[in-house]
Amino acid sequence: MKFIQSTFSNLSVQQLYDILQLRSEVFVVEQDCVYQDIDNYDQVAVHVMGYHEDTLVAYSRLLPPSTYFEQSSIGRVIVKETFRQFGYGHDLMNFSIKYLANHYPNDVIKISAQQYLIKFYSSHGFRIIGEGYLEDGIPHIGMILGN
């Protein structure tokens, strides 16, 4: 798995297309959730793309502090269904956490996690904060990494 990161303005048209296609494949089709994926945060995000050969199979969106949350954030975490058995989700999270730690070393990372993934995110050091809530009809919970 090869990871690259890019700001929105440096994404190629093909990279943007591949990102939106993968996000739609997982969040809209696989999870059967109709929601507004294009939300005006992509323009301020760092996009982490994980490739197996020439295919985008993993992705996350990193947001700086005071964008979505007061803290920096990792969102839109995806691994293509046919590649989940290889541990790429863990590789993606490790890369994303390291990137944010290098760019915002004194900051806490906050995520809005789908509740069925609590164990996954906990394995990366995240801990639950607050009560569960529905986001786009899917149970979520706030989690933080750091202080």
What is the CATH number for 7? 3.40.630.30
Number of domains in the chain: 1
Q: What's the sign of the alpha-carbon dihedral 108, 109, 115, 119?
A: negative
**Burial classification of residue 69, based on how many CB atoms lie within 10 Å of its CB (0-12 exposed, 13-18 middle, 19 or more buried):** middle
- Are 19 and 53 in contact by the 8 Å Cβ rule? The answer is no
Specify the pLDDT at position 37: 83
d(CA 31, CA 16): 21
Flag whether 136 is in a domain.
Answer: no
Structural domain includes residue 128 = no
Any domain includes 142: no
Select from 65, 74, 121, 129 the least CA-distant residue to 96. 74
Task: Return the H-helix or E-strand segment holding 79.
Answer: strand 72-79
* Mean pLDDT lowest among 30-44, 85-99, 124-138: 30-44
pTM over 0.85: yes
**Any domain includes 138:** no
Q: Is residue 97 part of a domain?
A: yes
Which residue type does 108 have? Answer: V
Q: Is residue 127 part of a domain?
A: no
119 in a structural domain: no
Q: Residues 55-79: pLDDT tens digits?
A: 999 999 999 999 999 999 999 999 9
Could you tell me the residue range of the domain that residue 85 belongs to? 2-107
Residue 57 lies in a domain: yes
Q: 137 pLDDT exceeds 90?
A: no
**31: pLDDT confidence band, cut at 50, 70 and 90?**
confident
Number of other residues whose CB lies within 10 A of the CB of residue 124:
17
